[in-house]
Amino acid sequence: MNFLIDNYNIWKALHIIFVVSWFAGLFYMVRLFIYHTEANARPDDEKRVLQQQFNVMQNRLWYIITTPAMILTVVFGTLMLFANPGLLKMPWMHIKLTFVVILLVYHFICQGIMNRLKDGSSKWTSGHLRMWNELATLILVAIVFLVILKTSLGWIGGVIGFFGVGIALMLGIRLYKKLRKN
């Protein structure tokens, strides 16, 4: 047990490194989904080449970076909890772990989207995928604020801030769509 406790800061550093890698992989993955979906509007020869390339890129990103980073994030986060079980008594940690579960669901939904894009059965539009990408941003914002501010973040301020970021992101997406059309 001393090994776990003595190396707490190492587990924490590794946890943060793999959280960053996991989010980077998720953000880029959904961006690839958008490009993959938009390739459907291209002429058949171009569409085929682009989609084959996106399939290769998605597989490599998913299985070499994103999923291993997710697994290592969970492993090192779990080691931190074993090394410091007092964290589980703190209300903010329960909320954070709820967001982690939501992020895990998000991760596996992304894997399903990737598989449907690969077999040509995806019903997602590029607009829906852009909105989907912002959900990961909201989860990231919530987790970072919870971890940094802990109990100093009031519930009302936290809820207002969380939805404020969500509304700002949606307005930004709408503005981007309008600018893109012009």
96 is in an annotated binding site: yes
- Report, as an integer, the average pLDDT of 130-147: 86
Average pLDDT across the chain, whole number: 91
Per-residue pLDDT at 160 = 74
Using CA atoms, how far apart are residues 23 and 80, in angstroms rounded to an integer? 20
Q: How many structural domains comprise the chain?
A: 1
Helix 8-38 / helix 44-60 crossing angle, nearest 10 deg:
170
Does residue 27 contact residue 136 with C-beta atoms inside 8 Å? yes
pTM, rounded to two decimals: 0.86
pLDDT tens profile 40-94: 999 999 999 999 999 999 999 999 999 999 999 999 999 999 999 999 999 889 9
Per-residue pLDDT at 120 = 93
pLDDT tens profile 15-25: 999 999 999 99
What is the token pair recorded at 29?
Answer: 């993955």
pLDDT tens profile 95-123: 899 999 999 999 999 999 999 999 999 99
Using CA atoms, how far apart are residues 120 and 29, in angstroms rounded to an integer? 17
Per-residue pLDDT at 68 = 98
Q: Examine the pLDDT at 158 and tell me if it is beyond 70.
A: no
118 is in an annotated binding site: no
The CA-atom distances, in angstroms, between 96 and each of 93, 138, 139, 140, 171 are 5, 13, 10, 10, 26
Residue 71 sits in which domain range? 2-181
- Helix/strand/coil (H/E/C) assignment for every residue in the chain: CHHHHHCHHHHHHHHHHHHHHHHHHHHHHHHHHHHHHHHHHCCHHHHHHHHHHHHHHHHHHHHHHHHHHHHHHHHHHHHHHHHCHHHHHCHHHHHHHHHHHHHHHHHHHHHHHHHHHHHCCCCCCHHHHHHHHHHHHHHHHHHHHHHHHHHHCCHHHHHHHHHHHHHHHHHHHHHHHHHHHC
User: What percent of the chain has a predicted confidence (pLDDT) above 90?
Assistant: 66
Does residue 20 contact residue 65 with C-beta atoms inside 8 Å? no
Per-residue pLDDT at 156 = 59
Does residue 87 contact residue 93 with C-beta atoms inside 8 Å? yes
Per-residue pLDDT at 168 = 86
